[in-house]
Amino acid sequence: MISDSGGKMEKHDELLVALRKVIRAIDLHSKQLERQVGLTGPQLLVMRAITRFNGAMVKEIADHTNLSPATITSILDRLQSRELVLRQRCTEDKRKVGVYLTDAGIKALQAAPQMLQEHFIRRFDDLKDWEQSLLVSSMQRLAAMMNAEQLDASPLLEIGQVDKPKL
């Protein structure tokens, strides 16, 4: 790559450009998803997790998506206000509340396009083991260099705030 001054771009600049391209691709896909079905990536991820369990509990959804229970609760509040999910108290144990998709939620999920990470996973799976390991270790090192190891993150390619927990 050539820099603006005509010389060769520094390695750190090349890395930052590549990182910005990844961020931009994720941002564009996220906006397209919201325009097409009116759902954010995290909302779609939570709805898909709900379908994996019969009467999903918040903790199960949180564990499955690698998001905090507070974040899941905030996302569920938004989905419930749009009548896409239903929370129902368990008849055997009143402390437990199961989460279900409504008919509208099922339709919205069926209408949703493939998520960006599904395309990514297919291509990642085509790589050799050593290439996969190299990419994983490089990204983990990059996250550490950016002091991002402790951030709440799911295996979801999504830009911006997932959902702010209510205080």
pLDDT in tens, 129-154: 999 999 999 988 998 898 887 776 65
* 41 assigned to some structural domain: yes
Confidence check: pLDDT of 160 > 80: no
| CATH at 21 | 1.10.10.10
Q: Nearest CA to 117 among 157, 75, 59?
A: 157
For residue 136, being part of any structural domain is answered with no
Question: Which structure tokens are listed for 141?
Answer: 């090192």
What's the domain range around 32? Answer: 11-112
Kindly state whether residue 97 falls inside one of the protein's structural domains.
yes
Residue percentage of the chain with pLDDT more than 70: 86
Q: What is the pTM of this model?
A: 0.68
In terms of average pLDDT, the best of 3-7, 15-19, 50-54, 89-93 is 15-19
Task: Find, among 38, 33, 37, 7, the residue nearest to 156 by Cα.
Answer: 33
